[in-house]
Amino acid sequence: MNIPVQFRKLLILGMVAALWSVLPSNAETGIEAIPDTAARTALDRGYLGLYNLDFLGAQKDFSAWQLQHPDDPVGPVSEAAGYLFSEFNRLGVLEAQFFENDQAFNTRSKPSPDAAVRSRFQAALDRSQALARARLTKNGKDQDALFALTLASGLQADYAALIEKRNLASLHYTKEASAWAQQLLAVCNDCSDVLVATGFSKYLVGSMSAPVRWLLKMGGVPGDKQAGIADLQITAQHGRYLAPFARVLLAIAYVRDKDKQRALELLTSLRAQFPANTLFPREITRLQAVR
């Protein structure tokens, strides 16, 4: 199918937002929403491991959480996130130069996914969704269930678009993630992590031409550039598990808007917080070399 370039930009770039306001700029940097060491759970440690590219350690923590909380759907969906992040890292999917413009995406080579990782990823999602739906039959406002379903749909969108390059399938999952996020926000107005599922898509659609914005709005994908930035800033300051990822997305948005200084501020704070992550210093060096 021949998809217009602006629509491809949404389909591909917008999906990464499904994974994983206007505040002062210093609220975006140097924030660690996960508690200090003594108060961290295995789930907290797992997400910190992901941002430090310690995928094996993260999966051990996620497995420990699932043993302690076998009925919690957030455990297996976090395991799935670990598999996806490890594939992103192996394949170089989140290298910032791929996000700067449409041509960079259109000319990038198709990744070669690991079939075994793909199988484990889907199995973890299936377990999470089954647990979440079972909880919702008992309590339609179960916050952990709604969060897990939001993240599960977002992860499926990311895998479909950024690894399999199935853009239309990914759009379906993105809309699904946004719908679950709205259900959660209706019963939990401070569940800031889920705003990642809507923020970057709003930003991207809001950046497009008026006719494209209108078409996407008719298809159920609204856009508002400033509202998208606001959503991401809320998660960057108040999110628990996805605050660092929101800052990554904000940095990408600033790169696309040619605001190199703000992008560098965010990446510098992330480098300090996650010193084992080699992506941040590479991107800082690359941005500093851009005139």
pLDDT category of residue 23 using cuts at 50, 70 and 90? very low
Could you tell me the fold of the domain covering 5-105+112-289?
Answer: 1.25.40
Of the pLDDT bands very low, low, confident and very high (cuts 50, 70, 90), residue 254 is confident
Please tell me the pTM assigned to this model.
0.80
d(CA 287, CA 277) in angstroms, rounded, equals 17
Mean pLDDT of 265-290: 90
Does residue 214 carry a pLDDT above 90? no
Q: Read off the pLDDT of residues 149-194 as tens digits, 9 standing for 90 and up.
A: 999 998 998 888 788 877 677 777 878 888 898 899 899 988 888 8
The residue type found at 278 is T
Q: Show the 3-state SS of 116-177.
A: HHHHHHHHHHHHHHHHHHHHHHHCCCCHHHHHHHHHHHHHHHHHHHHHCCCHHHHHHHHHHH
Contacts of 139 (CB under 8 A, 6+ apart): 145
Q: How confident is the model at residue 242 (pLDDT cuts 50, 70, 90)?
A: confident
Report which of 262, 277, 275, 284 is spatially closest to residue 29, judged by C-alpha positions: 262
Q: Look at residue 8 and tell me whether its pLDDT is greater than 60.
A: no
With a cut of 70, say whether residue 221 has pLDDT above it. no
Identity of the amino acid at 117: V
Q: How far apart are CA 29 and CA 280, in angstroms?
A: 14
User: What pLDDT is stored for residue 110 in this prediction?
Assistant: 66
Over range 39-57, report the average pLDDT. 91
Token reading at 278: 């080699």
Indicate the domain borders of the chain.
5-105+112-289
Residue 204 has pLDDT above 90, yes or no: no
Distance (Å, whole) CA 258 – CA 194? 27
Between residues 3 and 141, the one the model is more confident about: 141
pLDDT at residue 196 in the model: 76
Q: Which of 13-17, 32-36, 250-254, 272-276 has the lowest mean pLDDT?
A: 13-17
Helices 42-51 and 74-91, packing angle to 10 deg: 10
**pLDDT tens per residue across span 65-120:** 999 999 999 999 999 999 999 998 888 776 654 455 555 555 556 678 899 999 99
| Residue 271: both structure tokens together | 């480098």
Give the integer Cα–Cα distance in Å for 288 and 291. 8
Q: Between these two residues, 266 and 98, which has the higher pLDDT value?
A: 266
Is 50 exceeded by the pLDDT of residue 273? Answer: yes
Q: How confident is the model at residue 135 (pLDDT cuts 50, 70, 90)?
A: very high
Write down the pLDDT at residue 39.
66
Mean local confidence (pLDDT), 263-286 = 91
pLDDT band of residue 148 (cuts 50, 70, 90) is: very high
247 near 241, Cβ under 8 Å?
no
